């Protein structure tokens, strides 16, 4: 007796009035499936909350560095129109004006500071921060390394006692919370001390964004400590540092593999009992390559959005990409505004 015949007999029907073959099996299986909204649909709910909170604050004075193409200039203007930032544009004045004119963007109400080229724009932007004219930096159409080089100058930059690090603030449609991934853009192969700074930067950011219980998963390929995988040893050391107060403000656990860091079921199956496992809202990755691939996987395969910010300098640094959509650029500005407000960085900074 064939599969279709068995299905028909079970349903009390005959072959004369029922579809046969693949169609019958398909209908039978489909009838058992619940109708649900596509979980991968982008709703921007998490970003909308951040943007709404930031818009309730006074606009953040922000130095926009070398906004010499449409995306970077338009992103700054859109954030200004949403009352998230108050931009000061720094770059070759005539070039910025030509971009604005060609893109039908009105920049007449914004201060425009002339700088001959991108290197000069980065240096001038940092100087304006040191003079107290701005409380955040926003990357325009120059390389990230070029901007960070000016930031990290020992005598004239914006260094602090901590290492600078990058955090992606991910809005993942299939995950209930905003997810921070760090570091995926600045520190290539961080050692233990650098990871401590990266982690503390991310924890401080999460708390500034209003996360009540910060839960950090220190990622590796496995969830057991083994000398064969150095990142597991560093994870264990970071957990002990958190126990001893060298890292504060969060629950920290690791090493954890990605599945048992974000999936309660995976953690349960593997017998991991932890307040972090399956519920992480910060993922500390082993190195830049792992973080970059994880963030881009979520963006391009899971329809996630990825706002970005650099932490650990005297002011937050907003990093945007030409591939970012309007909502992601706005979210990056909102994150910087909330972080600056919570960190009291929106006070004048002495030169």
Residue 113 corresponds to which tokens in the numbers above? 């500071």
Name the CATH code of domain 161-311 (choices 3.90.1560.10, 1.20.1110.10, 3.40.718.10, 1.10.730.10). 3.40.718.10
- Closest to 75 (Cα-Cα) out of 105, 45, 111: 105
Task: State whether the Cα torsion 297-285-339-163 is positive or negative.
Answer: negative
State the 10-residue block means of pLDDT for the chain, 351 residues long: 41 45 40 43 76 94 95 93 96 96 95 96 97 95 94 95 96 93 96 98 96 97 96 98 97 97 95 96 98 94 93 94 80 96 59 36
Order of strands, sheet of 282-284, starting from the edge strand that comes earlier in the sequence: 111-114, 85-91, 60-65, 137-139, 317-319, 305-311, 165-171, 179-182, 282-284, 215-219, 251-256
Predicted local distance difference test score (pLDDT) of residue 326: 80
H-helix segments, the chain: 3-11, 21-31, 45-55, 70-81, 93-102, 118-130, 144-151, 192-208, 230-243, 258-262, 264-269, 288-301, 326-342
**3-state DSSP of 143-168:** CHHHHHHHHCCCCCCCCCCCCCEEEE
The domain spans of the chain are 41-159+313-351, 161-311
Distance CA 220, CA 234 (A): 10
pLDDT at residue number 285: 98
Q: What is the pLDDT of residue 16?
A: 44
Asked if 255 contacts 277 with a C-beta cutoff of 8 angstroms, the reply is: no
Same CATH fold assignment for domains 41-159+313-351 and 161-311: no
The predicted structure's pLDDT at residue 122: 97
Instruction: State the architecture of 41-159+313-351 in CATH terms.
Output: 3-Layer(aba) Sandwich (3.40)
Contact 115, 64 (CB under 8 A): no
């Amino acid at each position: 007796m064939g599969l279709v015949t068995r299905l028909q007999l079970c349903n009390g029907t005959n072959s004369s009035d029922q579809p046969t073959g693949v169609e019958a099996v398909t209908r039978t299986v489909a009838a058992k499936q619940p109708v649900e909204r596509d979980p991968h649909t982008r709703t921007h709910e998490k970003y909308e909350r951040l943007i709404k909170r930031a818009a309730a604050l006074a606009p953040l004075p922000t130095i926009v560095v070398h906004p010499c193409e449409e995306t970077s200039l338009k992103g700054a203007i859109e954030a200004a129109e949403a009352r998230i930032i108050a931009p000061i544009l720094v770059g070759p004045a005539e070039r910025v004006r030509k971009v604005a004119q060609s893109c039908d963007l009105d920049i007449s109400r914004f201060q425009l500071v002339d700088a001959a080229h991108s290197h000069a724009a980065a240096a001038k932007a940092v100087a304006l921060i040191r003079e107290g004219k701005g409380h955040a930096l926003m990357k325009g159409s120059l390389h990230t390394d070029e901007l960070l080089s000016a930031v990290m100058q020992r005598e004239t930059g914006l260094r602090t006692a901590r290492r600078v690090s990058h955090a992606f603030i991910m809005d993942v449609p299939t995950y209930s919370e905003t997810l921070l991934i760090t570091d995926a853009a600045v520190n290539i192969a961080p050692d233990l001390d650098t990871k401590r700074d990266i982690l503390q930067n991310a924890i401080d950011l999460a708390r500034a964004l209003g996360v009540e219980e910060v839960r950090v998963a220190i990622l590796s390929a496995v969830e057991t400590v083994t000398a064969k995988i150095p990142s597991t040893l560093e994870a264990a050391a970071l957990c002990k540092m958190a126990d001893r107060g060298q890292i504060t403000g969060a629950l920290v656990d690791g090493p954890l593999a990605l599945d048992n860091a974000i999936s309660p079921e995976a953690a349960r199956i593997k017998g991991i009992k932890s307040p972090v496992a399956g519920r992480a809202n910060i993922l500390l990755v082993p190195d830049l390559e792992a973080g970059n691939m994880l963030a881009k996987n979520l963006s391009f395969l899971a329809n996630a959005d990825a706002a970005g910010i650099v932490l650990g300098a005297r002011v937050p640094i907003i990093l945007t990409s030409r591939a970012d959509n309007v909502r992601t650029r706005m979210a990056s500005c909102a994150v910087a505004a909330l972080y600056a407000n919570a960190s009291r960085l929106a006070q004048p900074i002495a030169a």
